[in-house]
Structure 1
Amino acid sequence: MAASVVKTPKCARRGSTKEQQSKASKSTKDSSNWHWWLLLASVFLITFATRFYKVTEPDHICWDETHFGKMGSWYINRTFFFDVHPPLGKMLIGLSGYLTGYNGTFPFEKPGDKYNETAYQGMRYFCTTLGALIMPMGFDTVYDLTRSHEAALLSAAYLIFDVGLLTLNQYILLDPILLFFMMGSVWGMVKISKATAAGGSYSMRWWFWLFLTGTMLSCTISVKFVGLFVVLLVGLHTATELWIILGDLGQPIVETLKQIACRALSLILWPVLLYTLFFYIHLSVLNRSGNGDGFYSSAFQSRLIGNSLYNASMPRDVAYGSVVTIKNHKTGGGYLHSHFHLYPKGAGARQQQITTYTHKDDNNKWLLKPHNKQRLAKDKLQLLRHGDLVRLEHLVTRRNLHSHGEPAPMTKKHLQVTGYGEAGAGDANDVWRVLVVGGKVNETVHTVTSRLMLVHYLQNCALTSSGKQLPKWGFEQQEVSCNLNVRDKNAHWNVEDNEHKLLPSVSFSVYAPGFFARFLESHAVMLQGNAGLKPKDGEVTSRPWQWPINYRGQFFSGSSYRIYLLGNPIIWWSNLVFLALFVAIFLGNAILQQRRAGQCRADRSEDSANSSTAADVCSCCPEEEPLEVQQQQHSDPLRAAAWLFIGWLLHYLPFWAMGRVLYFHHYFPALIFNSLLTGVMFNYMIQSLPRWLQHVLLGGLLSLIVYSFALFSPLAYGMSGPLANEPNSTMHSLKWLSTWEF
């Protein structure tokens, strides 16, 4: 009798290969621990050696040190200021300066100014230290994603030997602080994934990494709003992990709910509390009046020591004969302002300019007069009421607020607003109707609390701050126009300062807002300021398409000791190559897996037909893999590369949609993800080669990037002599693109 043959299902035969690979992976997981420590120590030493070399040179202000050094000084002096970024980075700069002996008195006026005896070094050391810690975290992140020393080493080398990242790390800037917290967030994200996949949920280590990641996320977005991109990355990764846990039928649904609750606590609630705490510290420390007061509402300013509204007593009611300042009520609105300068030819009638200005000075003061009289009798008191017709005389120039049929200089659909007349006398085009928004007949106008509209009596248009910046002839102040659409909310104003000898004064403290009101207003002002950023004269701006190709750099120091922010071209251009290779390989692999899934289903149907019992039929198609296999994302190179690619996309693509001014340094967060991706993909592509050939290829690429670093390091460490476009320059042979200006 012939022996019966048992046919092994085809899908089971393929599954055995996966099991063997999994066992092999586990057996080699920790076989080279000493190797990891040796490489990590080398990364630390080389990073700190390259970062701290010449860190105190040049001994003058470089690029945006003029802003962030000055803001650090203001924290030390507790002087309020306006900035478009959240406060944590500047607070840390100020704290590092304070702890290292800086007294907050250096003016940080402009790039090139010598520091002389100023103790600036501590702030540079602090920023450089945080920037230097990015590389070890990047090394460990890639190692945890791939379990490959080669991939981790190459990724770290791409970060270490990029002269652009080196330049950005060595100065008193927000960028090294931002990049440190961003990299820390990604590092923590991968550690959580690793601990979860190893079955370490709810252990002390797991909780540690959850809360560390939440802290890093909060700190990232507390330095710059672009930190939101890494928050999105970690959120997507967390959602993916929770989806996998939900699909584990061996676990009760309660396990998924516990995981969601733990991550919501550590990655949402905890970061929000920290973020709020940073703003509480910020608003508590900066309690003295400064040059940024005017960006904020009158009520906000009443909390600032030294501001004219702090503990002020002034009339609650507004009356004819009052000398007032009038502030636009929109977020970040300026004061109604004029000066002796006229509108130029081609910008409407050549009459006196009317603008809004965010700083306080005497040119913001206006005298309130009846529409049919020059002045009231000195002993007569008449309150201003909803619906009254008035004239507003500029106190310094004695010209009246005026509008007529000419188009506004910037917003052509609006009418021009000017200062007109002589010694307070003018014409009928100086008459405005005062309307309290939502007001009733005979309702009196109050200081600060009344929202007003000034509607032109003849033209029936509303006095408006258009938000458009005037050219140099208008001193880059904001345009004031008269809008025929009287419902425009930019036409809302309030009286801030109010002086009148016959009116009784009340304490201004009743208008002072609480913390949460100031917290919300701070965000509205920051977001508006961010959206409206414009380049300064002579400033080199760029567009996102230029960044990955290293099209043009940026001067950090333009004196005889030149520093030029430019990426290492070998690193940047090879990053693009590996980016393209990843996309091609990932798509090809996805197509292949889909084809295999179809074959698996066909095999399963065949096995089912040939099997005598249901138990003989296997179910190992990719969509039915067990949880343990699905959770091994941290050791799957292509899946690891995919997350790094998503990180690159999130930190690069949004800039294409931004209308604000952009600079070359905005690309560096995306560059870090690209560099980590390069290490992962290089290792993935050579792992099937003989070991000796892998080492040769890795050594060759490392030698190339170290050599290119040596060539281009003067850009970061300082150049002198002729520019590169001159044949006798030592850098002439390195000007590979005509757009490089070093």
Structure 2
Amino acid sequence: MSESPVGVRQRGPKKKVGNGAEYSSVPGGSDDELLAMSIKAPRHVQSTGGRGYKIALAVITALAFVTRFHRLGHPNEVVFDEVHFGKYLEHTYFFDVHPPFGKLLFALMGWFVGYDGHFKFENIGDSYISNGVPYVAFRAMPAMLGALTVPVVFLTMQESGYSLPAAITAAMLVLFDNAHIGQTRLILLDATLILSMACSLLCYVRFYKLRDQPFGRKWWKWLLLTGVALSCVISTKYVGVFTFVTIGGAVIVDLWNLLDYKRGLSLQQFGQHFAARALGLIIVPFFFYLFWFQVHFTVLYKSGPGDDFMSPAFQETLADNALSASSITVNYYDTVQIRHKDTKAFLHSHAQNYPLRYEDGRISSQGQQVTGYPFNDTNNHWIIMPATPFPEEERLNRPVLNGDIFKLHHVLTNTDLLSHDVASPYFPTNQEFTTISMDKSYGERHNDTLFEIKMEHGKKEAELKTLAGHFKLLHVPSKVAMWTHSKPLPDWGFKQQEINGNKNVAQGSNIWYIEDIPSMTEADERNSKEPKKVKHMSFISKYLELQRAMFHHNNALTSSHPYASQPIQWPFLLRGVSFWTKTDTREQIYFLGNPVGWWLASALLAVLAGIFGADQITQRRGLDALDRRTRSKLYNSTGFFLFAWASHYFPFYLMGRQLFLHHYLPAHLASALVTGALVEFIFCADPLEKEVIDKDGKKTYVAAPKRSLVGAWIACGVISAAVVACFIFYAPLTYGTPGLTVEQVLARKFLGYELHFAK
């Protein structure tokens, strides 16, 4: 029986086993020797490739498709986070915080069924039927991927050398889990993520089993398939990096063991092993990952709702983009409206002043208020004035250039914009923005009214343009950047936005642009311009810009959500998520795992940690409760599954973004593998090998006779029955039908789940 890849190796006398590598021979054999023994095990040793496995695999796969496709068309409305993938079919650019692979699969399905992408998936409860959306076809794709995940779990257990009841137990925990079923029946990305993660584990186990046959055809095949699976994981969601950590940890242990001189590998041979793994598990996945972004950019060549997330240079590569069609050069003495990129508020001022004291007792300058205002208004009009006035005859057609220093003159109040070392209303560390009269602006306070324009990604002395010219406005004396935020000012500020000077100049939310030029007349020569061609931008530049935007907005998902939950709650299934309700039929979809399966898996994770601790302590005291094969399997295989769980779970404690129960699904799959492994370990007490002393008193080891699996079968049956019963009990909340009475809802309202129609 073969083993998965993490563990501590024992050493003994060596012998050559192909390709110049040396492996220990029994007695005192290494895990490699144990692997070789298990691959070529005598007939009396339990087989992991017999007829029983094939029958079980067929039945489990059939049940997986039945549970995922059952009533797939219900409800015929948008459910929770089912989102829009039709824009790929419209070729309009959109922005999303996840990589494109999973969304492209949905687009491919839409292309297969002839969908034109007209529906926008804007509101939960919108009808698919009345809008002519082939939603069943869209849902069929994740349902199929979710169904295929179950046999992959079974095969991972089988390939890792576990008994049939252990493999069935692990598969049953995923097969009849309400959360896995509920999440993979909807137009969501998680089915792609979870299947790719499961395939990564399976492919690496198959690769590791061939470690005594390096660089052969099968060895390369499973190494490259592992890389492809890893690429699919991270190309679906960035949390796929946790699967890279899992496989990477196993690879590091493997390479560390290969580095041991007792293995007989020269440094050149070790370098070949290292290079092969780097190629298969880093370089190949990375290029596949880039490939999906290339497809993404190629398909989305038209201007769309995602334009605002990208730079002007990026937007000008899209057909029909407003920047290409409407942007014009900004000149000195133009009256302009300046708008904040993130909040869309206009730079605004009015005759009212700041109060003498703020609510916290701090004193203001009592100067004229400068605020952010969301609507078009004449108080948003500012004239761009040179720091030193141009001669009258030189004022026409003088463009504003990147790096210029100028003043901003407020038209209606005849004052100039100013910042100074007075604390702003909401931020004691930021500077107040106000305005000052013309006589002081060109007198004693002249320097305080000077601002420098720094265009984003702009070349030196590039011309400032409307819409396309994103810039930061830096106060010259104090080097702060003009900034605003969405928190409204009190009544004295008319609930408008605060404008202040941000000392963190590099902050991405300091960006502004010129919305339009109200003073420009029809006779202005800038109105007569030739149609602009779509510009080119290199793939690498577009990719890097999109990566920055994706990471920025992903980290910005920190707002509260009524169904958000914390990682400490996930293993114990303390909270779910309401996906959909229908009042007249009392139907609802509530995202929740199978309590029996989740609690059992979580409990056995703690049991495994206890087993590791007890084994280490007993060995320190000279006791040896486990035979070598059992210990090797426990640490190498079950330990690998535990590491997979930990690497997919604990990193979420470091995240500040919104988190939901579905983020635990990959870790839950790993915990199901641990559960199956422990069913065999706990309920199959027979050793995997036995000690034999020959007539000379020499100790050797031979494979033990066929083990009794009665206890494992009983445990498998009890666990499976409990999991199935619990699944059926919560099935109305998973499939959204039938509607439940008040009593039935209350019976399922365990641990305070926020179920609807409980009264």
Which TM-score band applies after superposition, normalised by the shorter structure? 0.7 to 0.9
Aligned residue number for residue 645 of structure 2? 648
Aligned residue number for residue 411 of structure 1? 427
Aligned residue number for residue 608 of structure 1? none
Aligned residue number for residue 144 of structure 1? 159
CA RMSD of aligned residues (A): 4.6
Mind listing any 5+ residue stretches in structure 1 that lack a counterpart? 1-8, 600-621
Q: Give secondary structure in 2 for the equivalent of 1:105.
A: coil
Amino acid at match of 1:295: F
* Structure-2 change in CA distance of 1:57 and 1:722 (3 Å): closer
Query: Which of residues 456, 473, 486 is equivalent to 1:454?
Result: 473
Distance in 1 separating the partners of 2:216 and 2:377: 60
1:287 equivalent to 2:311? Answer no
Q: Give secondary structure in 2 for the equivalent of 1:564.
A: strand
Aligned residue number for residue 63 of structure 1? 80
Aligned residue number for residue 580 of structure 1? 606
Give 1:393 deviation, angstroms. 5.1
Query: Which of residues 215, 223, 226 is equivalent to 1:210?
Result: 223
Deviations 1:179-199 (A, max 9, x none): 111111111111111122xx3
Distance in 2 separating the partners of 1:398 and 1:59: 60
- Contact (CA 8 Å) 1:535, 1:661: kept in 2 or not? yes
- Equivalence map 1:526-537=2 (5 Å): 526-535=550-559
Q: Give secondary structure in 1 for the equivalent of 2:564.
A: coil
1:544 equivalent to 2:557? Answer no
Query: Which of residues 50, 57, 60 is equivalent to 1:43?
Result: 60
Distance in 2 separating the partners of 1:268 and 1:286: 27
Give 1:60 deviation, angstroms. 0.4
Q: How many residues align?
A: 674
Give 1:407 deviation, angstroms. 4.9
- Equivalence map 1:679-718=2 (5 Å): 679-688=676-685, 691-718=709-736
Q: Give secondary structure in 2 for the equivalent of 1:304.
A: coil
Distance in 1 separating the partners of 2:314 and 2:559: 28
Distance in 1 separating the partners of 2:612 and 2:95: 46
Deviations 1:55-79 (A, max 9, x none): 11111000110xx3x1x11111111
* Structure-2 change in CA distance of 1:190 and 1:444 (3 Å): closer
* Structure-2 change in CA distance of 1:535 and 1:295 (3 Å): same
Aligned residue number for residue 103 of structure 2? 90
Distance in 2 separating the partners of 1:15 and 1:305: 69
- Equivalence map 1:246-645=2 (5 Å): 246-247=259-260, 248-310=262-324, 314-315=328-329, 318-321=331-334, 323=336, 337=346, 353-354=371-372, 368-369=384-385, 380-384=396-400, 388-391=405-408, 407-408=423-424, 410-417=426-433, 432-436=449-453, 446-447=463-464, 453-456=472-475, 460=478, 462-465=480-483, 469-470=486-487, 480-483=499-502, 485=503, 493=511, 501=524, 512-535=536-559, 539-560=562-583, 561-596=587-622, 636-645=633-642
Give 1:710 deviation, angstroms. 1.2
Q: Give secondary structure in 2 for the equivalent of 1:287.
A: coil
**Greater Cα shift, 490-499 or 710-719:** 490-499
Deviations 1:676-721 (A, max 9, x none): 1111112110011754333222211211111111111111011465
Q: Give secondary structure in 2 for the equivalent of 1:269.
A: helix
Give 1:451 deviation, angstroms. 8.3
- Contact (CA 8 Å) 1:403, 1:430: kept in 2 or not? no
Q: Give secondary structure in 1 for the equivalent of 2:66.
A: helix
- Equivalence map 1:209-248=2 (5 Å): 209-247=222-260, 248=262
Give 1:324 deviation, angstroms. 6.4
Distance in 2 separating the partners of 1:77 and 1:477: 38
Q: Give secondary structure in 1 for the equivalent of 2:324.
A: coil
Mind listing any 5+ residue stretches in structure 2 that lack a counterpart? 1-12, 14-23, 687-707
Amino acid at match of 2:220: W
Distance in 1 separating the partners of 2:432 and 2:385: 22
Q: Give secondary structure in 2 for the equivalent of 1:309.
A: helix
Q: Give secondary structure in 2 for the equivalent of 1:41.
A: helix
* Structure-2 change in CA distance of 1:729 and 1:89 (3 Å): same
Distance in 1 separating the partners of 2:481 and 2:553: 22
* Structure-2 change in CA distance of 1:489 and 1:179 (3 Å): closer
Give 1:147 deviation, angstroms. 3.0
Aligned residue number for residue 616 of structure 1? none
- Contact (CA 8 Å) 1:78, 1:287: kept in 2 or not? yes
* Structure-2 change in CA distance of 1:157 and 1:365 (3 Å): farther
**Greater Cα shift, 472-481 or 499-508:** 472-481
Give 1:573 deviation, angstroms. 0.9
Amino acid at match of 1:301: Q
Q: Give secondary structure in 2 for the equivalent of 1:661.
A: coil
Give 1:652 deviation, angstroms. 1.0
Give 1:403 deviation, angstroms. 5.8
Q: Give secondary structure in 2 for the equivalent of 1:86.
A: coil
**Greater Cα shift, 549-558 or 348-357:** 348-357
**Greater Cα shift, 186-195 or 347-356:** 347-356
Which structure: greater helix fraction? Answer: 1
Query: Which of residues 157, 171, 178 is equivalent to 2:172?
Result: 157
Distance in 2 separating the partners of 1:43 and 1:267: 30
Give 1:674 deviation, angstroms. 0.9
Give 1:492 deviation, angstroms. 6.2
Amino acid at match of 1:63: F
Give 1:437 deviation, angstroms. 5.2
TM-score, length-normalised on structure 2? 0.77
- Contact (CA 8 Å) 2:337, 2:347: kept in 1 or not? no
- Contact (CA 8 Å) 2:405, 2:453: kept in 1 or not? no
1:170 equivalent to 2:185? Answer yes
Give 1:529 deviation, angstroms. 0.4
Amino acid at match of 1:299: A
- Contact (CA 8 Å) 1:138, 1:156: kept in 2 or not? yes
Task: Name the % identity.
Answer: 28
* Structure-2 change in CA distance of 1:419 and 1:704 (3 Å): farther
Q: Give secondary structure in 1 for the equivalent of 2:86.
A: helix
- Contact (CA 8 Å) 1:451, 1:492: kept in 2 or not? no
- Equivalence map 1:166-205=2 (5 Å): 166-196=181-211, 199-205=212-218
Distance in 1 separating the partners of 2:596 and 2:478: 63
Give 1:383 deviation, angstroms. 4.2
Distance in 1 separating the partners of 2:504 and 2:614: 59
**Greater Cα shift, 279-288 or 24-33:** 24-33
Distance in 1 separating the partners of 2:684 and 2:29: 21
1:122 equivalent to 2:137? Answer yes
Distance in 2 separating the partners of 1:207 and 1:363: 69
Q: Give secondary structure in 1 for the equivalent of 2:243.
A: helix
* Structure-2 change in CA distance of 1:407 and 1:327 (3 Å): same
Give 1:208 deviation, angstroms. 1.7
1:658 equivalent to 2:655? Answer yes
- Contact (CA 8 Å) 2:48, 2:162: kept in 1 or not? no
1:105 equivalent to 2:118? Answer yes
Give 1:388 deviation, angstroms. 3.8
Distance in 1 separating the partners of 2:164 and 2:92: 49
Deviations 1:606-649 (A, max 9, x none): xxxxxxxxxxxxxxxx9xx9xxx8xx99x813421111111111
Give 1:124 deviation, angstroms. 0.4
